[in-house]
Amino acid sequence: MFQLLAACGLPEEPVMAPPETDKATEKELQRIRRLPENRVCPNCLKEESLGFSAVCTTFKTFICHDCKSAHQSFSHRCKSIQMSVWTLEEVKALDDCNGGGNAAAVRKYLGKVTPKDRVKQGSTLELYKRFIQRAYVDQRWADDQPEVSVPEAPQALPAPSSPETVEEPRSRSRKGRHRKRREKAANLQSDSVQVAPDGLWQHDLRSAT
């Protein structure tokens, strides 16, 4: 084709290189892929020492080939580690701190699954699809009661003082002063009066002089 174009005197069309994942993104993808929790399929618990070659980007999980086929039956988007082009944003979404990875998926979608509920390795595709539907479509085993931090109750503010409560101590203070005055006057009166030997009341001679 290129020889024919050259013979006709036409310029050759440039060959476009296929897009590739940049080195920094590839390095981060391989790091997350090789984490211990991401080397165990969250669905069938199949282990892969070098990490899986497929990712379900819909649920941000690293999965085996059988689970990949089951996910694709429900139009869940899956990408290949080696064959697909990855952006740094897509790779960061697979990190556990961003809610991605197998451990986060197990906490969110498989928090209540029991061993007998899991699909067994080597099962038929229909059994894999049934498990994927229950786990991710129906969310039968999802942990729908996450921990919620209860805020501390605010401390009650003291009630504002009303005019009556402010006036009450004042009135008590005035009553106390009046009572002390009456007691003092009574004491003075008792000192100024004494009883005569004959039983008659008479004033103290000292007060008379």
Q: Which domains does the chain have, with CATH numbers?
A: 19-137 (1.10.220.150)
Q: What confidence tens digit (pLDDT) does each residue in 50-76 have?
A: 999 999 999 999 999 999 999 999 999
- What average pLDDT does the structure give for the chain? 80
**167 has pLDDT over 60:** no
* Contact between residue 49 and residue 39 where contact means Cβ atoms under 8 Å apart: yes
CA distance 110 to 65: 19
**5 has pLDDT over 80:** no
- Angle, vertex CA 47, rays to CA 42 and CA 49, nearest 5: 130
Confidence of residue 125 (pLDDT cuts 50, 70, 90): very high
Confidence of residue 205 (pLDDT cuts 50, 70, 90): very low
Mean pLDDT, residues 35-59: 97
The predicted structure's pLDDT at residue 155: 59
Confidence of residue 150 (pLDDT cuts 50, 70, 90): very low
**187 has pLDDT over 90:** no
The predicted structure's pLDDT at residue 208: 44
* Contact between residue 38 and residue 52 where contact means Cβ atoms under 8 Å apart: yes
Confidence of residue 17 (pLDDT cuts 50, 70, 90): low
Radius of gyration over alpha carbons of the chain, in Å? 46
Mean pLDDT, residues 118-141: 97
**189 has pLDDT over 50:** yes
Amino acid at 120: K
Confidence of residue 145 (pLDDT cuts 50, 70, 90): low
**1 has pLDDT over 80:** no
Question: DSSP letters along 54-95, please?
Answer: EEETTTTEEE-HHHHHHHHHTT--EEETTTS---HHHHHTTS
